[in-house]
Amino acid sequence: MDENQMIFGELPTNPLLIVISGPSGIGKDAVVGLLRKTNLDTHFVITMNSRAPRPDEVEGVDYFFVSREEFEEKIANDDLIEYARVYSDYKGIPKSQVKEAFASGKDVIMRLDVQGAMTIRKLCPDAILIFLTASSREEWINRLLERRSETPEELELRLCVAAKEYGMIDQFDYLVVNSDKHLDQTISDIQAIIKAEHLKTHPRKVDL
């Protein structure tokens, strides 16, 4: 492609790898769920999880739920881009999903905990890492309490883990506030980030 085609024609683009992350209870599921409805040309990775589904979660939509034994078999077969043991369960990303999406030219969005995001940063330095936060500590804690899916001991553990996770913010590319009742603004901010990244004169290039 010559210089005139580059300037006046359709700009070449590389598929982006976008990671939506943040502490437990910050609203990653809600954000990714709405992004899925508005970004139709984007592939949304479905994480594999060894825990039992919550009442409102759907197999193949929210997660792929497998037994711990099945998950450990996939680890042994090197079938995962990344995986981690979070609290007492495994979470991981199947390689095949991401490679097939990139082959079709689609951006890929992953929903990961902070530990998983750090693994992707090491594997793919050009991945875009977005850290979600609440507008206040009180707002975030209230979300955890309203979820009612943790025992008091588990809640205390999540608070301790989150304190460490907030200390990793400087390893992310963007910080987006996900305030209560302002999910549309969160989505607009993330879409603006993706658009700006595609308009860069020196685009990111993800190699897996």
Kindly give the confidence (pLDDT) of every residue in the chain, 208 residues in length, as a single tens digit, with 9 standing for 90 and above: 455 555 666 666 789 999 999 988 888 989 998 999 998 889 999 889 999 898 888 898 888 999 999 999 999 999 999 888 877 899 899 888 898 999 999 999 998 889 889 989 999 999 999 999 988 888 877 777 776 666 777 777 878 888 888 899 999 999 999 988 899 999 999 999 999 999 998 889 888 7
pTM of the model: 0.81
* CA count, 13 A, side-chain hemisphere, 206: 28
Instruction: Please state whether beta strands 17-21 and 108-111 pair in parallel, antiparallel, or not at all (unpaired).
Output: parallel
Q: What strands lie across the sheet with 80-86, from one edge to the other?
A: 64-65, 48-49, 89-94, 80-86
Domains of the chain: 3-45+106-198 (3.40.50.300)
Question: What six digits make up the tokens of 144?
Answer: 């955890």
Number of other CB atoms surrounding residue 185 within 10 Å? 13
Count of other CB atoms within 10 angstroms of residue 69:
8
User: Residue 90 in contact with residue 71, Cβ under 8 Å?
Assistant: yes
Residue where the block lists tokens 């890929």: 108
Q: Known catalytic residues?
A: 54, 147, 158
φ and ψ at residue 21, rounded to 5 degrees = -140, -175
Name residues whose C-beta falls within 8 Å of residue 201's C-beta, 6 or more positions apart in sequence: none
Give the separation between CA 41 and CA 38, rounded to whole angstroms. Answer: 9
Question: Which residues are 86's β-sheet partners?
Answer: 89
